[in-house]
């Protein structure tokens, strides 16, 4: 089973767009995303490469499992 590895924030942003999130605004080095029907926002830092723990926390908040994330990541090159 493939493992989650650090990715650039731009690639993670493409994943978010693919699963229906939209960019709202940027506050310093954090980008804010929203999705219709949800009250809370998702905040993603603009680090060169997102650490695994940030990706896993975001996936938990999005209710997306690791396998789905990895499959979508392959599609959004």
- Provide the residue range defining the domain that includes 32: 9-75
| Region label for 44, one of left (φ > 0), alpha (ψ between -120 and 50) or beta (otherwise) | beta
pLDDT band, very low/low/confident/very high, at 61 (cuts 50, 70, 90):
confident
pLDDT confidence bin for 1, thresholds 50/70/90: low
Query: Is it the case that residue 77 has pLDDT exceeding 80?
Result: no
45 in a domain, yes or no?
Answer: yes
Which contiguous run of DSSP H or E holds residue 13?
helix 9-18
Is residue 48 in a domain? yes
3-state DSSP assignment of residue 51: coil
4 within domain boundaries: no
Residue 27 · residue 14 · CB < 8 Å: no
Give the CATH number, domain containing residue 14.
3.30.920.30
Residue 40 Cα distances to 10, 45, 69, 71, 74, angstroms = 21, 16, 20, 25, 27
């Amino acid at each position: 089973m493939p493992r989650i590895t650090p990715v650039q924030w731009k690639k993670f942003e493409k994943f978010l767009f693919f699963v229906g999130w939209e960019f709202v605004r940027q506050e310093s080095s954090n980008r804010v995303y929203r999705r219709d029907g949800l009250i809370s926002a998702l905040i993603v830092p603009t680090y060169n490469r997102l650490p695994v723990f940030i990706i896993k926390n975001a996936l938990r908040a999005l209710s997306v499992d690791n396998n789905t994330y990895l499959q979508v990541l392959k599609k959004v090159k």
